[in-house]
Structure 1
C-alpha cells in the first residue's frame, strides 16, 4: 500500500462501513456461542456451577459486545465521512522533492475523546425521531443515549481491561449495569436488554451490502 492508497482508504466511507459489516458478522458468530451457554446455564441445577457458568457467560457477552461496539463505531465514522468529510484530519509529510514520506490518520471528529460513540452520534444528528438521516426506526432519545454510553464503556475498557483509567467511568458502568445485589446472575438480564438494543442499532447503521466500489 502506498501513502496515497492509505489516504484514499482512510477517507473512504465505504471502507469503514465494510469493516462495520464484517465486525457485525463476527459478533453474530460469537453470539451463537453465547446462546448455547445460556441454554446450558438454564439446565444447571448446582448453585456453584451455575455461578461459574454465569460469570463465563457474562465475560463472553462482553467480548461479543466489543465486536458490536466496534461495528457501531466504524459505521458512525463511515457515515460521518460520507456526510462531513472535513471531519477527517490527516498528517502528511513529504521529502524535499515532494514525495510522500509518511501519512497518518490523526482523527475523525477531533473535538471529541476517543471512542465517544455518543458524541459521534450527535455529530450525525441521529437522535431525530422524524426524518432521521440514518435510522429507520430510531429508539427514543433517552434509550439511544443509554445504549451509546453503554457501548462507549465496552469499547473503552469493559470489553478489554479489568478497570478503566478513570474511577468515575467504573462507577458510571456499575450504575448502568449492576442491580442492587450486585450478583453476576442478576445482571445478565440487563446485559441482554442492552445487547438487543445495541444490535438493533448496529443493524440499522450497517447496510446489508456495502458497495465494493
Structure 2
C-alpha cells in the first residue's frame, strides 16, 4: 500500500470519527428534549397529567360562569352578598312598620292597629256615642268569653266610665271602619274580681274591636 493511500484512509477514518460523535450528540439531545417535555403542562406545571389539566380548566370555567363566586372588578362583594342583603331588607322594613302600628303603655296596655277604615271617617272622641263589634278572649289561654259578632253592635258613651278603662283608652281616636286589638291588664279591666264565671280574677284580656259608628 502506498503512503498516499494510507494517508487518505487515515483522513477518511478521522472524518468519520468527527461526524459520528456529532450525530450521536444530536440524537441524545433529541431524546433528552422528549424526556424533559413528558408530563409537563403548557402552563409550566411539571408532572401534571392531561386529565388533571382538563379538571382544572373545567373548574376555572365554572368559576367564570358562576355569577355568585368571587369578586367584582372593584373588589366589592358579588351578587351573593347583594342578594342576601336584599333578602334581609324587607324583613327589617316589615318589622319597623309593624312596630309603628303598636303602642304599649307603662301600665301594660297594648293598642295594635289591625286595619284602617276610611281616611275621612268620623273619629271617636270622649263624649261621643260609639258603636262597636268585638270579640273578647282571655290572654292566658285564648278562651273566648264574649262576642257580639253577628248581633247588634254594642253602644256606649266614650270616656265617661260606662265601660272598662281599657276600652275608654283603646277606642279613643279610632275612625269608623278601624279595627284594633286591645291587650288590657287587670288594672284597666276587671281587677281582682271574677266576672260571670268566665273571667277569673286578675285576668289579662284581649279584645278585637271594630268601630262601626260615631255620633
> Considering the TM-score relative to the shorter chain, is it more than 0.5?
no
TM-score (norm 2): 0.22
Highest Rg: 1 or 2? 2
